[in-house]
Structure formats: structure tokens, C-alpha cells
Amino acid sequence: MPYCDVLVPGPWWNGLTYKTEMNVPIGARVVVPLGRGERIGFVQRLDSEDRGRGGFAIRSIRRIIDEIPLFPPSLWELFDWGGRVFLCGTGELLRIGIPSVFLSSSDATLLPLPLPRMETKASEEVFFYLCDFHERCKKFIALVERSERFLVLFPEQGLAAEFWKLLPESQKKETVLWPSQGGKKLLAAWIRARNNVPRGIIGGPGAVFAPLQQIETIIVDEESSGAYRSYKKPFINARTLAGKRARLESASLVLSGRTPSSRIFLRGKPRSTERPARDNVRLVDLREAFASSVQGVGDSLPLTHTLLTETKRCLASGRTALWLLDRKGYAGEIACEDCGNAARCPKCGTAMVWEEKHDRLRCPACASIRSIPQVCPVCRGHLLIGKRPGLEALFPVAKSFESDGQPALFMEDFKTAGKGAVRSLADRLSSGGIVVGTRAALVLCDIVDIGFAGWIDVDAEVRSIAYQAKFTVFSMVWESLWRGKNHSERVVLLQSRRPGAGWQKGVVQGWKTFWTHELKERKELGLPPYSYLLEIQAASLQQKSEMLSRMEERGLFPMDPGDPPLHFWVTARSVSVVQDIIAPFFSIGCSKNGFPEVSVWID
């Protein structure tokens, strides 16, 4: 067997062929020469002859690191599949899926042989959606107790830790809380899992790569959460990977949460009759807002009578009121007169601020600059420049509600300070108070008794790419209704230009109503979940035009908004079609040109 294909992690998709004298186990790491230096790679397959792709001299493997493959075959298949489905390449997926020492240090790790695959029962899917987190956890615990080996995923580490706390003592001993960050802790947990010591793993999205074997049950909580998507390269969705992993392991897959994702709603037809009680939701018209002037701004804040009376009522009962607004700073923004959508940064989705001096827009998050669009990108309506003040301007108003024992707090002040600061925040709010913050302030629901949550300008909460903006807002408002303790006695207020219309119907009637309306629209537009939507960033303008023309040749209709210049979008029925078209751009031979970056939206 003189040849073998080696996967060397990098932005390219193809494996590299090397000569070898010794018999190399598939999945083992090897050191290979590459370019001027050497790299660590994984043996993909062995070949008795050179398959003659030709054109270059084939070099030899320098040495074999592992005698036994680093991880079980099912996990190898998961990386392979993920690399294709997310169009990021298996190498990039490996980079985030295994402890980084395995790619940097060529020390061998002594591991036992992979166990044979268990094929006792067929993989099945179970859906259940419950708004209350603790109710869901109770069901998870029951499922986990019946299972020999399990994996439980949460969108955030905090929720995983919360679930872990609820586990009975006897279970905790046999379970590993998966570390959210790399380093020594992760390596230790990884090796324990690889040795199949724990019965179960509980963790955030990253735990989907835990090398546990013979898993029987995989639970994904809050499966529609955007937190399962990675926000940097490689762009993956851990929920989708968890689904594939369940199929590979013949494990039963449990999808759960407060709301289903669009794809699961469409495919699994999950049922729920949960909706908030009539008294829990208030919808008010922003156009009836008071013009409350704020020092140093000379501007108006949209504060309705209902907001102020509900806040007072909440404080009088000794609970905490939350004012939510996703705009930071005093700067003005530009919004659509018709639908209320704010102009968003094309790179990161943050609401852009208007710079009066230069008559242009600037992203407060990533500092990118763009010109002011002529019409609203969402509804083609008229845009107008508003000078609607943000969070900092709102705070002085909240301050006027402050009293002894009931402080007014600005959430931004506590965000960077870590866990201790958040706990001290809970202490200060023990007999109520008022907090001003962005959506991130919703975590307070877990540690503070929130009696009132007011969305100051719910139309402006729309962010990220337009087609799923409505779901993002819906699920956020939905979250504010159900997260944390005493949610049944919480009042949630939506200040809007179109109170109760559109997606807001779902807030009153439940997610079934929301998705039924939303999917009708998406079907017409051919957007996910009816297709896959890909965002591609080319490495150069020349590469972009080559990609565009190849796609058109093959019957796809790429969309090129021209801004930012290297980006374009395309929808496709299956990812594999696009994969075939763009694979040539991801060959290692193209390194000089640079590689494109692809992000796939599946729902």
C-alpha cells in the first residue's frame, strides 16, 4: 500500500496524497511535509496506487504519531459530513472540534481502541416543546436516567450548568459538564470521554464533538437558538451536527425548547398549545408615546403611559422592572417609516448609526461604513433619519424611578465584570429595582425576580439578515415571557408602531401562529427552510465573478447586492450542488488566490 490520503487541517477541502512504507491505521495522525515546513494530518484512506492526479511530485510521510485512531469512526464521519454540509471543509471543522494540542503537538496519546458500533435500535426522533425551562429539565432527567449513554446540549454554558445542578447526586458522578473553553480542562474531559468513562456529557454547543462512544440518547435543548450557530469561521450549526450524530450513532434524538426552529416546525409538525395568559402581554402604540426630553440630547424617547404605570406597579410590588432596547449610545439611527426596520450593518447586523457630519452610516460594533440607502431594504418603503436615542439616553429616565432599596442599574456596567458582578447585581435588586439593557439583560430573569419587561421599541429590535429577523425578535420577546422564575406573574410590554400586527400575533397566540404566517412568506420567496441560503465571501473580485458565472452556468441564481463588494448570496435545493460548483476554489493549489468563506443558513 504505497499511497495514502492525508487530511491536513487548513482552509482547503482536498486530502493530500503521500507515499508510505508502513501500514498506517486510518484515522491516525501523521507528520507530513507541506510546503517548506511540516504539518500534522489525519490518514483518510489508503491506496495501492497513485490515482494519477499528476502534476506534482508526491512526497513521503515523515512519521506516524498515533498507533490507534484519535477518535471513534462515528465522529470521523461527523467531521467529514459537517465539512461538506457547511461548506467549510473537514479540516476547519476538526480545528474547532478537537483539542488544539492534537494539531500542534506531535506527542502520541495513549487511547483504547474504538468500540464496535452498537446497532441495537433504530434512530428515532422525539419532539417536545415546553416554555418552562425547569419543566423541560425534569423531562430530560427522566430520559437520561433511562439511557445508558447520553449527550445533552444547551445553547449556552450557563443553562448547561443549571441543568447539571438539577441532576441527582448519583448522576452527577457519572456525568461530565463539558468545558466551554479549550485548554487543559477540555483536554482532560476529552480524554475521559474518549475512554468512555462518563455515562453522559452535558454542555454547550461545543459538546457535540465529545468523543463519547455508543451514545443512546442525544438531547438538544432550545434547538432553535441562534447560539448553536458559530459567529466566526467555520460557520456551523451544532444543532444540525447533533442530529447527524444521532443518526450515526443510532441514538434517539430529542429536540426540545421554548420554540421549534423553522425546519423542525415544517418537518416534525411539533404541537403545542402554550400561549401567554391574556394579562401577561401588553401591546401599545409607539405613536402615542410621550415626548420626554432628555438632558443633553434635545430629543424624544418613546415612552408610553403604559410603560410608566406598569413600571411603577412592578416596583410597588417589590420586583424588578426591565427596560429593553438594543441600541446603544446617543447617536441617531436611520429607520424605515413604513415597517420600522433600522438600517443594519451588512457585515454584522448591528443597527448602524447616522453620522450627521459625513452624512453616512457607521456600524458601532465593527466600525464599517456605508452610504445611506435610498429605500428600505426590507419593505422598499421610505427611510427617514431619526434621532432616536439609545440606551444611555434612556438611563436617566429610569433613574427617576430610583428610590431607597430600589436602584436603577445600567446593564452595560456589569457585563464585562464577570460572574461575581452579576451576583452582586442580584443582591442589589433583592427588593426590586429597574434595569436598563439590551437583549443580553434577559439573563437577569434567571437570578432576579423580573415582574415587568418593557420592549421600548420592538420594531427596532430587528437585526441580522432580513429573512430571519422576525424570528429573532419573536423568540427574544417569547423568551422574555417565559424565562426564569415567576414568569407567570410577569407583564411583558411591546411598544411598537404596529401593535399586535404581523409577527406580534405569534406573541399573543403562540409559535404555531408565528411559524404558520412566517413560513407562508418564506415559501413564496424560496427561503430557508424551503432551501439552503448561502452567503459567500470571495477572496478577490476576480474570484467572485468566476464563482458567479459558474453558478449561473449550472442553473443557480446568485444574488449580488454589491455591498460589501466581495459578498454574494445564493439559494439552493441541496448543498451538494453548490459544493460541486465551488470545490475547485478550495483546492490547495489555489492557496495563492486565497479561499472564499461560506456560511450556510439551513433554517
Partner DNA sequence: CCACCAGAGCTC
Partner DNA sequence: AGCTCTGGTGGC
**Where on the chain is the footprint of DNA (CB under 7 A)?**
9-11, 14, 16-18, 32-40, 53, 56-59, 95, 104, 587-589, 591-592, 594-595
Collapsing DSSP to helix, strand or coil, 139 comes out as: helix
* CB closer to DNA out of 104 and 295: 104
Find the helix or strand (DSSP H, E) in which 581 lies. helix 575-582
Answer for the pair 96, 230: CB distance below 8 angstroms, yes or no. yes
Contacts of 536 (CB under 8 A, 6+ apart): 547, 567, 568, 569, 570, 582, 596, 597, 598, 599
Minimum gap (Å) between residue 33 Cβ and DNA? 5
Minimum gap (Å) between residue 44 Cβ and DNA? 11
* CB closer to DNA out of 76 and 595: 595
DSSP state of 229: B
* CB closer to DNA out of 19 and 573: 19
Minimum gap (Å) between residue 82 Cβ and DNA? 18
55-81 b/e with 16+ CB inside 10 Å = b? eeeeeebeebbbeebbbbbbbbebbeb
* CB closer to DNA out of 31 and 166: 31
* CB closer to DNA out of 104 and 120: 104
* CB closer to DNA out of 47 and 145: 47
Minimum gap (Å) between residue 582 Cβ and DNA? 16
Minimum gap (Å) between residue 534 Cβ and DNA? 19
Minimum gap (Å) between residue 89 Cβ and DNA? 10
Minimum gap (Å) between residue 367 Cβ and DNA? 20
Answer for the pair 418, 426: CB distance below 8 angstroms, yes or no. no
Residues in the chain: 603
Q: How distant, in Å, are the alpha carbons of 279, 459, 474, 512 from that of 275?
A: 11, 21, 13, 10
* CB closer to DNA out of 484 and 596: 596
* CB closer to DNA out of 478 and 595: 595
CA atoms of 522 and 518, how far apart (whole Å): 6
Collapsing DSSP to helix, strand or coil, 15 comes out as: coil
Minimum gap (Å) between residue 584 Cβ and DNA? 11
CA atoms of 75 and 210, how far apart (whole Å): 9
Nearest to 396 by CA among 446, 436, 340: 436
Minimum gap (Å) between residue 64 Cβ and DNA? 16
Own/partner pairs, 593-597, CB within 8 angstroms, 24+ separation: 593/539, 593/540, 593/543, 594/539, 594/540, 594/543, 595/11, 595/12, 595/539, 596/536, 596/537, 596/538, 596/539, 596/543, 596/547, 597/233, 597/235, 597/536, 597/537
Q: How distant, in Å, are the alpha carbons of 11, 82, 98, 411 from that of 91?
A: 7, 10, 11, 39
Minimum gap (Å) between residue 93 Cβ and DNA? 13
CA atoms of 550 and 393, how far apart (whole Å): 50
* CB closer to DNA out of 51 and 423: 51
**AA letter at 114:** P
* CB closer to DNA out of 419 and 592: 592
* CB closer to DNA out of 18 and 455: 18
Answer for the pair 253, 125: CB distance below 8 angstroms, yes or no. yes
**AA letter at 272:** S
* CB closer to DNA out of 51 and 138: 51
Query: Which grid cell sits at 337?
Result: 417609516
Collapsing DSSP to helix, strand or coil, 112 comes out as: coil
CA atoms of 408 and 428, how far apart (whole Å): 10
Matching residue, cell 443553562: 159
Minimum gap (Å) between residue 45 Cβ and DNA? 12
Minimum gap (Å) between residue 97 Cβ and DNA? 14
